[in-house]
Structure 1
Amino acid sequence: MSAPIVVGTDGSGAAERAVEWAAADAAQRHRPLHIVHAAQIWPYQVRRFVPPDESERVSRAGRSVLRKAEEHVRTHWPELRVTTALLVNAAPDALRDESKNAFELVVGQRGHGGFASLLLGSVSLRVAGHSSVPVVVVRGETRTSRGEVAMGYAMEGEEGDVLEYAFDAAAVRGARLRVVHAWQISASLAESGYPLDEDRMSDERRARIIAAYAPLYERYPLVEVVNEVLVGHPVSALSAASRAADLLVVGASGHRWGVPGLGSVGHGVVHHAECPVAVVGRSR
């Protein structure tokens, strides 16, 4: 069986949209769907301290959330293979554990219970920045097809996994791929008075980007690629590109105290994009 697409749900409206997006993606990719609910029982997280009635109440509510999500998926995607899991654990840990062997992990923009603070950092930074598989944060418009996948290219030379995910996502959807690279002139260079040829510098960067994805273009010859290189802030440029995209793909390129995580650009995009955002880590 091919690796599944894992989606987290807590029964909120945002989580329902995440389940719908994950189901549609699973159907497009001919992959099974695995729906996970992480039951939060604070302050009784240690099992031996959980009152019996509280444990049963949480389990009953969790099973109801999963049942409704599964029924919704089976109604709209009857041919899709669907499994569910109810876990008593912190949401980031539960999702990471269930998605270790997955194709991708999908979460909602915000919710209640275990997903309430997704955009406040406690879940997004712990999951999107540290997952072993791509993490899709479903936000913005998801039901209208715009025919485009956008990708942020950071020019750091280690973005093969990000490029491959973006090309594959565009191919699966029959969509155009827009590769966006925004660069900024350093303050010291701007203040030096040295004459700058922004057009030439952008052309040089564009040539490097085309060379980087050339092997993938040969593998996906039907994917139309548009290169967008501009001077500006990456978050602003990618947020603008998201308005015309079905999916925005970025890399998890940040490092804090030597640990890989969700960088400032990825963090900003997750907050401001107007379409689902796929955060793709780099193979180590």
Structure 2
Amino acid sequence: MTESIVVGVDGSECANRALDWAVAEAVRRNRPLHIVHAVDSRPYRAPLFTPPETVERMTRLSRRVLEDARERVRQRRPDLETATTLAAESTPKALMAESENAYELVLGNRGHGGFASMLLGSTSLRMAARTTVPLVVVRGDTDDRGEVVVGLDLTKDEETTLRYAFDVAALRGARLRVVHAWLMYPTYVEAGYAPEDEKVDAELRKEIASVIAPWRAKYPQVDVVEEVLIEHPVVALTNASRNACLVVTGAHARSWSAPRLGSISHGAVHHAQCPVAVVPRRTGAPDRERLTQGGRDER
């Protein structure tokens, strides 16, 4: 069974943008689309507080959200295999269940429940910290043109993150910018320790080149730029996102039953000016064949 692209919708404009992105992604990767909407009616089932018709009305409205989403897909890609699910539970639980065996999960950066001034909705933030499949948070400019940017942390195992980033760049025919940013801890500066920036830069570039070399060999068609910056990693990724179609970052290794969202990934999904993919770092990750199954750019 082909793994689908799962997208969560709630009828909001942000969700519609995520839906459009997911449609394009499903077509690019030749995968089916699975649209999910959740409505948790439990708080409204208490007869002392709610008229009995409330749950029915909520169900009708929820079905309308899915019907509108399917029609939006039909208008753009009538030939795309599309399924819908109306889940009677909390949104995070529904998304976790429906995306468990998915290829990718796509969400908008805010939903109907968010405040206009919030940079990221609670559902997107929660899923970014818990998802076990790549999660794309659609925000900012969704133009497919531009580079793919990946943040590289040399202290962590970035195999799944780099695999995903190289695969996306190859699929889109885009340049891949590998960004490593570092700053000296203030305590070292206060203690009078002043590293030789040029020497550090040279050592880091050598280490990055060593990490990237196997991926260059596997993806010779991808134009790769390696960048070392002396600034905060979130600032570096945010700046790079201005000319990017996607920023790729890794979640921390799984702790008990789910990965954790690190400060860098947290900052990226809040401030990037293009969609952000959060890729769980985990063992037993899918190999390149899974990542590229049916994945040729049809443009």
Correspondences of 1:158-177 after superposition (within 5 Å): 158-177=157-176
TM-score (norm 1): 0.91
**How do 1:49-68 residues align onto structure 2 when only pairs under 5 Å count?**
52-68=52-68
Report the Cα offset of residue 43 of structure 1.
2.1
Please state whether the residue corresponding to 2:176 is helix, strand or coil: strand
Note if contact 2:107-2:138 (Cα within 8 Å) is conserved in structure 1: yes
Q: Distance in 1 between matches of 2:223 and 2:52?
A: 58
Q: How does 1:81-230 map to 2 (within 5 A)?
A: 81-113=81-113, 119=119, 122-142=122-142, 144-230=143-229
Counterparts of 2:13 and 2:175 in 1: how far apart (Å)? 29
CA distance in 2, matches of 1:46, 1:262: 36
SS at match of 1:247: strand
Helix, strand or coil for the counterpart of 2:201?
A: helix
Q: Distance in 2 between matches of 1:107 and 1:151?
A: 19
Q: CA deviation at 1:271?
A: 1.1
Superposition deviation, residue 119 in structure 1: 4.7
Q: Secondary structure of 2:72's match?
A: helix
Q: Note the C-alpha offset of 1:121.
A: 6.3
Amino acid at match of 1:127: M
Deviations 1:252-280 (A, max 9, x none): 12899997411111111111110000011
| Kept after mapping to 1: 8 A contact 2:10/2:111 | yes
In structure 2, the CA distance between the partners of 1:116 and 1:134, relative to structure 1 (3 Å rule), is farther
Instruction: Give the superposition deviation at 1:30.
Output: 0.6
Deviation string 1:130-177 (CA, Å, 9 cap, x unpaired) is: 1110111100011x3333100111112311000001111111111110
SS at match of 1:129: helix
Amino acid aligned to 1:205:
L
Q: Which whole-Å deviations, capped at 9, do the CAs of 1:193-250 have from their partners, x for residues lacking one?
A: 3442112212211222222122222221111001111111011110000000000001
Say how many residue pairs are matched. Answer: 281
Deviation at 1:123, TM superposition (A): 2.1
Using a 3 Å threshold, how does the CA distance of structure 1 residues 25 and 120 change in structure 2: closer, same or farther?
Answer: closer
Instruction: Sort the Cα spacing of 1:254 and 1:236 in 2 relative to 1 into closer, same or farther, 3 A.
Output: farther
Query: Is contact 2:150–2:247 with CA below 8 Å preserved after alignment?
Result: yes
Q: Distance in 2 between matches of 1:76 and 1:163?
A: 31
Structure-2 change in CA distance of 1:50 and 1:220 (3 Å): farther
Long gaps (5+) in structure 2: 284-299
Alignment-mate amino acid for residue 216 of structure 1: W
Q: 2 CA distance for matches of 1:255 and 1:122? A: 21
Closer, same or farther in 2 for the Cα pair 1:131/1:83, shift >3 Å? Answer: same
Maintained 8 Å contact 1:245/1:275: yes
Whether 1:38 and 2:38 are equivalent positions in the alignment is: yes
Output the CA distance in 1 between the equivalents of 2:45 and 2:25. Answer: 33
* Kept after mapping to 2: 8 A contact 1:5/1:104: yes
The equivalent of 2:290 in structure 1 is none
Report the alpha carbon displacement of residue 192 of structure 1 after superposing the two structures with TM: 3.2
| Counterpart residue identity of residue 275, structure 1 | C
| 2:245 alignment partner in structure 1 | 246
Contact 2:109 2:120 in 1 (8 A): no
Residue 243 of structure 1: SS of its match in structure 2? helix
**CA RMSD, 1 decimal:** 2.5
Normalization by structure 2: what TM-score? Answer: 0.87
Q: 1:274: which partner in 2?
A: 273
Instruction: Please say which of residues 57-66 and 36-45 is displaced more in the overlay.
Output: 36-45
Aligned to 2:4: 4
**Whole-Å separation in 2 of the counterparts to 1:258 and 1:231:** 35
In the TM superposition, structure 1's runs of 4+ consecutive aligned residues that sit over 3 Å from their partners are: 49-52, 115-122, 254-260
**Percentage identity across paired residues of the two chains:** 52
